[in-house]
Amino acid sequence: MPATDRDVFQQPAPTFSLHELAAIAHERFGIEGHPLHVAALESERDQNARITGETGTFVLKVANAAEDHGVLDLQLAMLQHLARTAPHLPVPRVLSPLDGSSSARVVSAQGQHHVRVVSHLEGDTIAGLARTPELECDLGRRIGQLVDGLRGFGHPAAHRTGFLWHLDEAANVLAWLDDVVDADDRAVLSLAFARHAQRVLPVFDRLPAQVLHNDANDHNVLAIGDRVSGIIDFGDATFGRRVNELAVALAYALLDVPDVVATAMRVIGGYAEVTPLEADELRVLFDLVAVRLAMSVVISSHRTREFPHNEYLTISQAPALRLLRRLTAMRPEFLHFVARDAAGHSAVPQHDAIVDWLRSPACRPVSPLPFDLRRAGRIVISLADGAPGMHVANDPVAYWEWLHQEMVAADAVMAIGRYDEDRSCYAGDQFTTDSPETRSVHLGIDLFVDADTPLHAMLPGTVVTVVDNDMPFDYGPTVIMRHEAGDAGPFHVLYGHLSRRTLITVRPGQQVAAGEVVAYVGDHTVNGGWAPHVHVQLITDLMADPERGPDGNFEGAGEPGRMSVWRQIAPDADLLLRLGPETWTNAEAPDELMPRRRADLGPSLRTSYRNQLTITRGVGPWLVDHTGRHHLDCVNNVCHVGHAHPHVVQALARQAALLNTNTRYLHRTILDYAERLAATFPDPLRVVYFVNSGSEANELALRMARTVTGRHDVVAVDWGYHGNTNDLVEISAYKFNRAGGAGRRSHVQLAELPDPYRGRIRSSDHHAGVAYAASVGEAIGRAVEHDSRGPAAFIAESISGCGGQVVFPDGYLRGAHEHARAAGALCIADEVQVGFGRVGSSMWAFELQGVVPDIVTLGKPMGNGHPLAAVVTTPDIAATFANGMEFFSTFGGNPVSCAVGMAVLDVIEQDELMARASQTGSWLLEQFGELQRRHEMIGDVRGVGMYLGIDMVADRDTREPATAAANEVTERLRARGVLVSTDGPADNVLKIKPPIVFGRAEAEILVAELDAVLSRPGVRSG
């Protein structure tokens, strides 16, 4: 047993009279006073007194006769050191004896005593104070300063051996454990010592060490209000692990506080503001707190046995045991993470690396449910009080019925529980929380589906536990899987509220491939009486007991005040589920936006679909709605290279951050872009005019043709659409001949739509092309009749879009152009819809017809959604057009638009998107042909590259258009997450013209969904 401590303890404290103490103060230390006020102070082994004289108040300390001189010198040296290194730290200042020695000596019957005088510090010991959070922080800060101030300090006496209260030698007192009478108490104490052995000793040698005060207990710290005003009693100073200083302070600061974790976080946070804590120190901090408490209980029990009458010994035993019980009831790793979080480290060391991996392309999770979660029809339900459905929430059957109705109405196959306010829920499970707060913040994501739905492993992994959590509440089986996050190491996925069938589905230790069934969703009896759902949670660290291993259960909700720690233990399950951020907000539901839109935007703007879509985001060929559901975009030929293509976005952002002006200044980009664009055209199409929309391009093309020819009339193809301006509506039969249109104006002549399926000649061969071209000749004839000068232009889309995805018969445009040119008209090719490689085999669709137009107009895909359009023509036409009137478009050809246009060309080239359009398009045509063989309603399948149409008929023989049915097909596809639209004179042609990044995988979805829709009854009657 440590000899020194026992000797000092056995030697009673000195017993000088107050009068004698006053005399010592005056004579030996020169403290003046008439008289000096002397008051005794409590001490376990020394005699201390407060002396108030003329120059202030001091503490006079008469040491125990058995006290080692070296230890006393150590204390004086420490205080002197701190006066230099931490001048603002409130520790006593040393008053030197008058004789210049380091300490005075006095003699009593007990022997010789060293006497020191130090300044008296104001304040009350914090033991008796109601502590505020600010004071707890300040305590930490002061302990940090104390440690920091002692960093460079050394003293031989600091290396004393056999010091009983030395936390570095905690195990020394273990021999006295049997002196603790109560068996339950002994069990808790043993646990603290065992954890010390398991968790502290392995890293002990790595912990930084220095001289410490070593006893910042609540009787040795003084405070005034919210601030620490003194740290006193350096009697236990010793060399030891640096972290002990904080551990000792915490062991006392946490006694009987309402929230151990919150107080600890404040003290640790304050400390770390001044003195950073190393990872190893944080790992063992709470174990040291616990073992310090255990030491104190064991030592006092031992002394109680030796000195049964000394009450001081047992003073702190009961609160120490209470705190020890609270600490040991929490998972040691949880406390480790708490300490890290408080000290400004990421709570879970591996959290960031795991999350990085989960976000990286290396992580490719499959859906845990038997359908693609991204695409699945879903409703997001609020689980807050008062939310729809909550009126029957306590009746599982009624709730499930309500939920089912909602799901059917929304064509949803799953519901996602949205817990309002950071996904909060009420959790009342079996975990002790030692918090005044309920664990009410949900840590996972709940997916509501039918009971017994199989659940699949999202990644390859190993089953860790399969446990039936039926006590004390029935939460049903829980499966915990372990997965490897590359170099970041393992993480876990928990599936909760499972059916008992799960218990015979997998076993612990089993290796599982991604997609393998690992569980089944349980019903309301295993989830606290809710609709059937699975709770999916990510866990970075199971915080398992090192000896017992994972117990198969885990907290599914956390305390609001501890979320900074819980979020690192249980990161967002959406990292794997990938439901999307939209799922967790509720701001953009169509119900919210439609009334505003009606009021704000005017009724001529239409929305697609009966159930309108709010689209919040686009990724490649996908459009993401306000619930996070991904819809396959099969109609957007504007976002040509894919929605939000990073290369295009970056080009835009880069140039926007640099400069955006107009064409009145020189800028290289517009020239680079014009040259690159022109190079994709056959000669002599060389000159480019930049504008902002297809309409503006066609307007300019008309103006050009009229200026160059000196004529006005136009010949256009029936059912064409060329833009929204007055002039263009007048040449667009699709507009002027339909609802609200004013009919054909006399300066416009229409050539018939050369439709090989529905037109006069039902063939695509050259003969049909020539025959249809004759209709252009006739229209020119009519134009000459109207105005003897003849028409200024013949304009045609290179493939008719609004006409119903009509690919012209061979030789049509060649013939048409011959007629036009013979009459002195210019030939305009409108490539606004079909240009930029969509047709696959060539950049421009007019090339399919072997012609070279005089003017070509471009738009939609040109800027991938950025308003960018152009007119391309020959140098001769350009020269004649320059008749003195300036052409200027404010936005046309600005540097940002040109940078975007360049980026679009980059992507088309680099990703070989034309080849992809050819391949995917051919495969789709084949598959549509296959569907046509099986579904009577498909009258015709047509198109080139990724510009396709499916003509829906009520009767194949009569080719009667099935308008309502086609419309119903688009609605049903929309419900299944596939977006197509209809067009054509009878609005019965399904129009398919996706971004051309659309590949085989997407094409397969389209075909499968179309097949499913056409196979189900009711389309015809729709």
Ligand X SMILES: Cc1ncc(COP(=O)(O)O)c(C=O)c1O
List of residues contacting ligand X (CB under 6 A):
693-695, 698, 721-724, 797, 801, 830, 832-833, 859
**Residue closer to ligand X (CB basis): 672 or 847:** 847
**Residue closer to ligand X (CB basis): 252 or 719:** 719
C-beta atoms surrounding 681 within 10 Å: 20
Q: Which two tokens stand for residue 333?
A: 């790793």
Q: Please report how close the Cβ of residue 704 comes to ligand X at its closest, in angstroms.
A: 16
C-beta atoms surrounding 1007 within 10 Å: 18
Span between the terminal Cα atoms of the chain, in Å:
94
**Residue closer to ligand X (CB basis): 448 or 721:** 721
In the block, which residue shows the tokens 């051919």? 922
Q: Please report how close the Cβ of residue 879 comes to ligand X at its closest, in angstroms.
A: 26
Q: Please report how close the Cβ of residue 576 comes to ligand X at its closest, in angstroms.
A: 40
**Residue closer to ligand X (CB basis): 728 or 905:** 728
Q: Please report how close the Cβ of residue 750 comes to ligand X at its closest, in angstroms.
A: 16
CA distances from residue 225 to 39, 233, 254, 374, 614 in whole angstroms, order as listed = 24, 21, 18, 56, 56
**Residue closer to ligand X (CB basis): 435 or 732:** 732
Q: Please report how close the Cβ of residue 894 comes to ligand X at its closest, in angstroms.
A: 17
**Measured between alpha carbons, how far is 988 from 975 in angstroms, rounded to an integer?**
19
**Measured between alpha carbons, how far is 397 from 406 in angstroms, rounded to an integer?**
14
**Three-class secondary structure of residue 800 per DSSP:** strand
**Residue closer to ligand X (CB basis): 630 or 722:** 722
| Residue 708 DSSP label | H
The sign of the CA dihedral 328, 332, 334, 339 is positive
**Residue closer to ligand X (CB basis): 136 or 696:** 696
Pick from 278, 199, 194: nearest CA to 242: 278
- Cβ contacts of residue 602 below 8 Å, gap of 6+? none
- Cβ contacts of residue 264 below 8 Å, gap of 6+? 250, 253, 254, 286, 335, 338, 339, 342
Q: Please report how close the Cβ of residue 459 comes to ligand X at its closest, in angstroms.
A: 44
Question: For 525-564, b where at least 16 C-beta lie within 10 A, e where not — what string?
Answer: ebbbebbbbbbbbbbbbbbbeeeeebebbbbbbbbbbbee
Q: Please report how close the Cβ of residue 794 comes to ligand X at its closest, in angstroms.
A: 15
Q: Please report how close the Cβ of residue 647 comes to ligand X at its closest, in angstroms.
A: 23
Q: Where are the beta strands (DSSP E) in 207-343?
A: 209-212, 221-224, 227-231, 238-241
DSSP class per residue in 453-475: -EEE-SSSEEEEEEEEE-SSS--
Q: Please report how close the Cβ of residue 669 comes to ligand X at its closest, in angstroms.
A: 22
**Residue closer to ligand X (CB basis): 695 or 894:** 695
DSSP class per residue in 728-761: HHHH-HHHHTSTT-----TTEEEEPP--TTTSSS
Are the C-beta atoms of 714 and 748 separated by less than 8 Å?
yes
**Residue closer to ligand X (CB basis): 439 or 993:** 993
Largest CA distance in the chain: 141
Chain centre distance of CA 411: 27
CB closest to ligand X, residue no: 694
Q: Please report how close the Cβ of residue 804 comes to ligand X at its closest, in angstroms.
A: 13
Q: Please report how close the Cβ of residue 833 comes to ligand X at its closest, in angstroms.
A: 4
**Residue closer to ligand X (CB basis): 51 or 871:** 871
Q: Please report how close the Cβ of residue 1018 comes to ligand X at its closest, in angstroms.
A: 32
Radius of gyration of the chain (CA): 42
**Residue closer to ligand X (CB basis): 464 or 898:** 898
**Residue closer to ligand X (CB basis): 102 or 724:** 724
